[in-house]
Amino acid sequence: MAKQININDTKLVEGIHNNDKASFTAIFLQYYKDLVIFSYSFTKDRNAAEEIVQDVFLKLWENRNYLVIQTSLKSYLLKSVQNLSLDWLRHQKVKSGCAEDILDHSLLYENETENYVLQSELQEMIIKSLKKIPEPYAETFRMNRFELMNYKEIAGKLEVSVRTVEVRISKALLLLRKELKDFLILLLAFLI
C-alpha cells in the first residue's frame, strides 16, 4: 500500500522552511491530538505523551531549515513521536531497574507506526461514512463506539428503548460495512 503525499502538507512544510509561523500552527493543530494519543499508546502517561509531542514540534521548528521529509508529513511525525516515546520508555525502565525488559519487548513496537496509520485511516473512513447514513443510526453508533456509552445509557439519553438502540446500532453496522467494503478489502490485503 503506497503512502500518499498530501499536497497541503507539502505546502505547510515549505511554509515552515520559510519561517512561516502560520504553517507551523496549522501542522500543530492538525496533528497534535492524534500524536498525543499515539504517544500515549506507548507511554500510558498523558503528561509524558503531551511532553513528547511538544518536543517533536519544538524540534520540527528548530530544525525547519534543515528538514528533509522523504515520507508523508504524518508518517514523519508519527515516527518521530514513536522514537521519542520508546526513548521515554527506555528511560523509565532504566529508572526502575528493568532495562532488559524494554529490549526484549522492542520488537513488539516495530510495526506500531504502520498499524496506527492504518487504524487512523480506518477511523477517518468510518467518520466520513457515518455522514452518509441516517443520523439516528450514526448518532447511536457514535455514542456507543466513540463515547463508550452502553445501550442503556444511550437509551436514557435519547429517550428511546434499549431495543431501539440495538436496532439502530445493528443497522449502522450493516450500512457501514457496505460503505467501507472497498477499504476493508484493501486493509485485509495489506495485512495478509
User: What pTM, to 2 d.p., does this model score?
Assistant: 0.51
Do 102 and 125 belong to one domain? no
The answer to whether residue 2 sits within a structural domain is no
The answer to whether residue 154 sits within a structural domain is yes
Do 104 and 50 belong to one domain? yes
Q: What range defines the domain where residue 132 resides?
A: 113-191
The answer to whether residue 166 sits within a structural domain is yes
* CB-based contacts of 158, cutoff 8 Å, min separation 6: 139, 140, 143, 164, 165
* pLDDT tens-place values along the chain, 192 residues long: 334 445 577 888 888 988 888 989 999 999 999 999 999 988 888 999 999 999 999 999 998 888 888 778 888 899 999 999 988 888 877 666 554 555 555 545 555 666 666 667 777 777 888 888 999 999 998 898 878 889 999 999 999 999 999 999 889 888 888 887 766 655 555 444
Domains in the chain: how many in total? Answer: 2
Do 106 and 122 belong to one domain? no
Q: Tell me, what CATH number does 187's domain have?
A: 1.10.10.10
Q: Which residue from 100, 88, 80, 90 is spatially nearest to 32, judged by alpha carbons?
A: 80
Output the pLDDT for position 7. Answer: 54
CB atoms within 10 A of CB 6: 14
Do 89 and 46 belong to one domain? yes
Do 159 and 98 belong to one domain? no
CA 84 to chain centre: 16
Q: Tell me, what CATH number does 63's domain have?
A: 1.10.1740.10
Q: Which residue from 76, 81, 78 is spatially nearest to 10, judged by alpha carbons?
A: 76
Do 13 and 26 belong to one domain? yes
Output the pLDDT for position 117. Answer: 63
Do 104 and 141 belong to one domain? no
The answer to whether residue 1 sits within a structural domain is no
